[in-house]
Structure 1
Amino acid sequence: MTEPTILTNAVVLTMDAARPRAEAVGFAAGRIVAVGSHAEVTAALPDARVIDAGGRSLLPGFVESHLHLVLGGAELSQLQLGGLYGFDALHKAFADYAAAFPQRPILLAQGASYEILGAPVTRSDLDRVLPDRPIAMMSPDHHTVWANTAALTAAGLLHGAKMPHGHEVVMAPDGLASGELREFEAFGPILALGGEAHLQLGIATGAEPSPWPSEAMRAADRDKVAAGLAHCAAHGITSMVNMDGNRYTCELLRDLEAEGRLTARVKVPFHFKPHMDLAELDRASAMAAEYCGEWVSSGFVKMFMDGVVDSRTAFMLHPYPDSDITGAPLFDPARFREICTEIDRRGLQIAVHAIGDGAVRTTIDGYEAAQSTGNRDLRHRIEHIELIDPADIARIPALGIVASLQPPHAPGAMDFPMSTMGSVIARDRWQDAYLCRSLVEAGAKVAFASDWPVTDVSVLRGVQAALTRPTYEGAANQQMGLYETLYAYTAGGAWAAHMEHLTGRLMVGLAADLVLLDGNIETTAPQDLGNMGIALTIAGGKITYQGTRVG
């Protein structure tokens, strides 16, 4: 759809404080031309095509503030194990998948719960599932992979391998790899068996493909990205902050834009790793300068301060339950402060994965040190914040830090079971876990996301999770309100990504990025929001997804 168009008879929630509600929105040439009553908008665009929204909710296109587009697109064709438990079910799933794909060099599965077999998974367990072909399955958080003996052998990992700090080939008492591989460097050789390791290079090592992929490989990679984009468009997403990637990712996206297949605005980071010299940030500055368009942009540096709670690699201030393990920061704190200061000096935004309260504090300290440069509107971000010490909550708004949060991650809120809480977070710290409400009340700027493919990319399921999440024993209610949640998925996300001049609100002059829901979100019970469909997604004035009930 490129011709002037009006969406009318809608419940328009603009996310614009000056005019929060309207009946119609009109756009032309990719920009919003009018917002208001039916009469006002038709007067501004008298010859426009008119779409009757039928009383449904119309919102700014959703901003997905933390996902992994390339990985998610590639994984759509892999075996999906979400919600599957028990050996018999696992055996059948892999047997059926193996029969369907007899020529694949490795059978990769996604979404395997840490509790899928009720005990730590070993290579022997997976040998029983399928002994004669390499198989591997990845945890939902994408920080752990389990592989059978055939896969470990083919990847050269059966006898272990030297790994960077924080990455581990777990060894068994028999002197061979147990089958559990923690973090990207450890399981990278497994993914390489499937021919997709080059898509993980940005997040795994910060490197670029070498040799550069052939045109045939790039075409196949573009198709995987396009599949991910289509999946996101079906959930109303028109802008996203892609938390993996490198210059190669930017090139794939720019090529898709040239082909007319880029259906969302995408920001891509430069990954800075603990082993890198500060001079590597020249690459980040170069990416920021080259990729600065409305559809493909960079301009931020991503780092990992810790791992995840399930594998006990998240960095905690206090030990995990029934242990003396606290995890450890991936960056030396003093060096991290130096790195943050240099990134800030270059005028680049910083986004740091920090899950444990120790990692969160170390990250805040780094951002505080960076303020010495005098830059004050870079909107440095902390991704996840699954546990935070109460003393650090007020520091986040005080330092202007963005809290990039994922409502679906809280156990019991969506797909992650409550049973994981007791094993990874001490009960007396439940009051400090997944504090969406507390951070908002403290004045923090927040942006919401799914971390897809870690969880379902569905924004409406995420909204439901935010509104209905359970209250943990001894903790305050962390449920969010509808409008503040929608703001965090639209205008809040746009602001956090430095896109507020372009998208996130329905205002004259901004991009025609809209989502028409298949119902009225204000009159739908919170527990039913995840079942609501998307009727229409429009990015830059073009339809990127259309449901069955829109004419």
Structure 2
Amino acid sequence: MFAKKAATALLLASLLVPSIGHAQTESGTKSGVQSADLILQNGAVYTVDRNRNWAEAVVIKGDTIVFVGSNEDAKAYAGAQTKVVDLKGKMVLPGFIDSHTHASKTTGMIYTVDLFDLETLDNYVQAVKEFKEKFPNEKAIQGRGWTNSVATGIGPRKETLDEVTKEIPIALTSDDGHSLWVNSKALEVAGITKSTANPEGGLIEHDPQTGEPSGTLREKAMDLVLKKIPALSVEQYMNGILEYQKLAAERGVTTARDPDMLRYPNVLEAYRKLSEQDKLNVRFRNAFTADPDKGPEQVQEFIKLREQIKGPHFQVNAVKIFMDGVVEGGTGYLEEPYMHKHTNGQLIWNPAVYNETAAALDKAGFQLHVHSIGDAATRITLDGFEYAEKKNGKRDARPSVVHLQLFNENDLQRFKQLGAVGIPQPFWFMKEAGFYEEIEVPYLGRERAEREYPMKSMINAGIIMASGSDYIVTQEFNPLIGIQQGITRIEEGKSDYQDIANPIERATLADMIASFTIDGAYSTYTEDITGSIEAGKKADIVVLERNLFTIPAEEINKTQILWTLFEGKEVYRSDSFK
């Protein structure tokens, strides 16, 4: 059906470069119809509405879509000042929604050491040295992007960073955000010694021979250092968020959830100021990050802050909970032990405290947004959802579980019955070279590694799956890449069936588009204003150079985004879109 409708739409248009002009009418619009500001015509418009309808034209008045349908019917809205865009067969989609992205972390890419894609310890050290030379007066050096695969087991050593300096702290966050590599000065400033106990929910790695802290801190242990070194400023975070918006517009992202409110100083204030200054052109529905040491008593502060944030483009309607860590750090919480260390990983929250916190948040009307990597962590996460529902009564709560790397299929029906939303990262659906065989298989065993990241089975069970990038963990967050990976589940350039990651979980194109649009809107409580192209919704629009339903899946990530509208306003235009 989708292919038939797509073909019909394409027959009505040519494939030339679009041109923009004004509607030529002598008498204005038809009687009783108000003239529009903008008409998109001759498009392959995939509306992603309830019936997955296709259309030819979209009519926009101000920030709102007022008509979706045929070219002929759209003419009724054309007035002397109406701008008409002839799309000449180009595809139109709703603005993309990134249901889990660390937008504010773009700040670190600007003001700290960027280690992403450097790949070796020597390269990391060289980057830190260059940063120190460029900024000799810094009181601490921070950075992000080293990967666990360069130093498996206990992680990279403090001595390597001591070669750069022992005079000021160095604190480098891993690419996944769950480990911190530090020098001796950082350990000293934090008061971490051989006898320092692991904080609850954290792990201090030690040299197996001497017992001294080796230089890698996991999960909550990271805070021992991060709370002792200078934070980035409000102005720096504002600049980082503005830079993110530019990147988002180029990728067609118009709505996002950043879950880092209160986890890092000054992030919330940066968003608040940008909102007050009307500088946001992404619709943010963000999340506070809950502290496992504070439990339910922190909920009143969240309520107070939520009431102070009322901007249309910036609201906080969820609370993030880190239930566990990550597989590559050996801290994802598993039902069966890791193969390489014979522990089950790291549970960050005490289950009883989590249950009461979940219930308090649910009662206050917050959406639960839980990081869960391991199958045991997800089971405990669902226990909390169930506890909250029994204590408060059933409501339209939409609790969400982020990542879902390992999942026990016995929890499938409970997940559905609780109305939980899955937030996967399809960008990761592959057997990544240098990571899969080096970390996932040795740490998990091949059987578990081969059933990672379920998606299609959850969709088939009636579970809403709303995709997120987890940027900046995922450096390139273009949703078209995520859509392709969700369909193919294979690394770029590979074609052997054995290289497909958990092939039974391959989703359809329609599934994947929905996960980045209407299902993303559902996950952020914005489906009444965005997520599909329908009259009455905000004019969040993306124009693509090709119809995704008419090209091989392997070419989706090569498709160019030509034009992005946010609430009817142009926020990005490709140079090729004249």
Of 200, 204, 210 in structure 2, the residue corresponding to residue 165 of structure 1 is: 200
Amino acid corresponding to residue 282 of structure 1 in structure 2: Q
Aligned residues: 530
1:390 matched to 2:397? The reply is no
Given that 1:166 and 1:330 are in contact with CA atoms closer than 8 Å, whether structure 2 keeps it comes out as yes
User: Equivalents in 1 of 2:188, 2:215: separation in Å?
Assistant: 11
Instruction: Provide the TM-score with structure 2 as the length reference.
Output: 0.84
TM-score (norm 1): 0.88
CA contact (8 A) 1:352 1:381 kept: yes
**For 1:306, what is the secondary structure of its paired residue?**
coil
Q: Is the 2:95–2:542 contact (alpha carbons within 8 Å) kept by the matching residues of 1?
A: yes
Equivalent in the alignment of 1:199: none
Percent identity, aligned pairs only? Answer: 28
Q: 3-state DSSP class of the match of 1:310?
A: helix
Q: Which moved more, 1:3-12 or 1:342-351?
A: 3-12
Classify the secondary structure of the residue corresponding to 2:448. helix
1:284–1:299 contact (8 Å) kept in structure 2:
no
Output one character per residue of 1:385-419: Cα deviation in whole Å (capped at 9) or x when no partner: 11011211222112211011111233426996553
* Offset, 1:475: 4.8
Secondary structure of 1:231's match?
Answer: helix
Structure 1 residue ranges without an equivalent (≥5): 197-216
2:483 alignment counterpart: 463
- Mapping of residues 345-494 of structure 1, within 5 Å: 345-372=363-390, 373-412=392-431, 417-455=436-474, 456-470=476-490, 475-494=502-521
Q: In the alignment, residue 33 of structure 1 is paired with which amino acid? A: V
Structure 1 Cα separation of the partners of residues 434 and 256 of structure 2: 22
How far off its partner does 1:311 sit? 1.0
Looking at structure 1, the residues matched to 323 and 301 of structure 2 have their Cα atoms a distance apart, in angstroms, of 21
Q: How much does 1:542 deviate?
A: 1.5
| SS in structure 2 at match of 1:280 | helix
Q: Tell me the residue number matched to 1:201.
A: none
In structure 1, distance between residues paired with 2:114 and 2:436: 17
Q: 2:92 aligns with which of 53, 58, 83?
A: 58
Partner of 2:53: 20
Counterpart contact for 2:340–2:443, Cα < 8 Å: no
The CA distance in 1 between the partners of 2:116 and 2:558, in whole Å, is: 18
Distance 1:58 1:505 in 2: 11
Q: Which residue in the other structure is 2:173 paired with?
A: 138
Q: Deviations over 1:90-113 (max 9, x none)?
A: 344444444444444444332211
Q: Which letter maps to 1:382?
A: V
Tell me what 1:524 maps to: 551
Structure 1 pair 18–475 and aligned structure 2 pair: CA distance change class (3 A): closer
- Distance in 1, matches of 2:107 and 2:562, equals 22
Name the CA distance, whole Å, in 1 between partners of 2:136 and 2:487: 44
Within the alignment, does 1:256 sit opposite 2:274 as a pair?
yes
Contact 1:513 1:541 (8 Å CA) reproduced: yes
Matched, 1:149 2:216: no
Aligned to 1:212: none
Q: Deviation of residue 79 (structure 1)? A: 3.5
CA distance, structure 2, for counterparts of residue 180 and residue 434 of structure 1: 27
Greater shift in the superposed pair: 532-541 or 121-130: 121-130
| Distance in 2 of aligned mates of 1:138 and 1:410 | 23
Cα 1:277–1:184 shift into 2, 3 Å: closer
Work out whether residues 104 and 194 of structure 1, in 8 Å CA contact, stay in contact via their aligned partners in 2. Answer: no
* One-letter amino acid of the structure 1 residue matched with residue 279 of structure 2: R
Secondary structure of 1:137's aligned partner? strand
CA 131–218 in structure 1, closer or farther in 2 if over 3 Å, else same: closer
- Give the aligned partner of residue 238 of structure 1: 254
Q: Write the letter of the residue equivalent to 1:148.
A: N
Q: CA deviation at 1:72?
A: 2.8
Partners in 1 of 2:240 and 2:501 — Cα distance? Answer: 45
Q: C-alpha separation between the residues in 2 aligned to 1:366 and 1:177?
A: 35
Letter in 2 for 1:219: E
Kept in 2, the 8 Å contact 1:74–1:225? The answer is no
1:123 aligned to 151, 158, 172, which one?
158
Q: 1:548 to 1:104 in 2, by over 3 A?
A: farther
> By how many angstroms is 1:117 displaced?
5.1
Distance of 1:192 and 1:26 partners within structure 2 = 54
1:311 aligns with 329
> Within the alignment, does 1:189 sit opposite 2:208 as a pair?
no
Question: 1:42 and 1:458, CA in 2 relative to 1: closer, same or farther beyond 3 A?
Answer: same
Task: Answer yes or no: is 1:33 the counterpart of 2:52.
Answer: no
Check the 8 A contact 2:237/2:266 in 1, yes or no: no
Question: 1:495 is matched with which residue?
Answer: 522
The alpha-carbon deviation at position 227 of structure 1 amounts to: 1.4
**Aligned-partner Cα distance in 2 for 1:468–1:458:** 16
RMSD: 2.8
Q: Distance in 1 between matches of 2:511 and 2:437?
A: 25
Amino acid at match of 2:235: A
In the alignment, which of 199, 206, 220 is matched to residue 236 of structure 2? 220
Corresponding residue of 1:282: 300
Secondary structure of 2:66's counterpart equals strand
Q: How does 1:35-50 map to 2 (within 5 A)?
A: 35-46=68-79, 47-50=81-84
In 2, the alpha carbon distance for the partners of 1:132 and 1:274 equals 33
Which residue identity is paired with 1:240?
A: A
Q: Which residue of 1 aligns with 2:565?
A: 538
Report if the CA contact (8 A) 2:326-2:373 is conserved.
Answer: yes
User: SS of the residue aligned with 2:99?
Assistant: strand
Give the aligned partner of residue 103 of structure 2. Answer: 69
* Aligned partner of residue 367 in structure 1, secondary structure: helix
Report whether the alignment pairs 1:179 with 2:215: yes
Opposite residue 21 of structure 1, the aligned amino acid is W
Greater shift, 72-81 or 254-263, is seen at 72-81
Unaligned runs of 5+ in 2: 1-19, 21-35, 491-497
Decide whether aligned partners of structure 1 residues 294 and 160 sit closer, same or farther in structure 2, where only a CA change above 3 A counts: farther
**Secondary structure in structure 2 of the residue aligned to 1:303:** strand
Q: Distance in 2 between matches of 1:135 and 1:408?
A: 30
Question: Match of 2:518, as an amino acid?
Answer: A
Counterpart CA distance in 2 for 1:411 and 1:106 is 37
CA deviation after TM superposition for structure 1 residue 133, in Å:
6.3
**Residue 4 (structure 1) aligned with residue 37 (structure 2):** yes
Paired residues of 2:489 and 2:502 also in contact (CA < 8 A): no
Pairwise CA distance, 1:60: 0.7
- 2:470 and 2:434 map into 1 onto residues whose CA distance is 13
**Residue identity matched to 1:446:** M
Contact 2:259–2:288 (CA under 8 A) maintained in structure 1: no
- Aligned residue for 2:143, secondary structure, equals strand
- Give me the whole-angstrom Cα distance separating, in 1, the residues matched to 2:219 and 2:379: 22
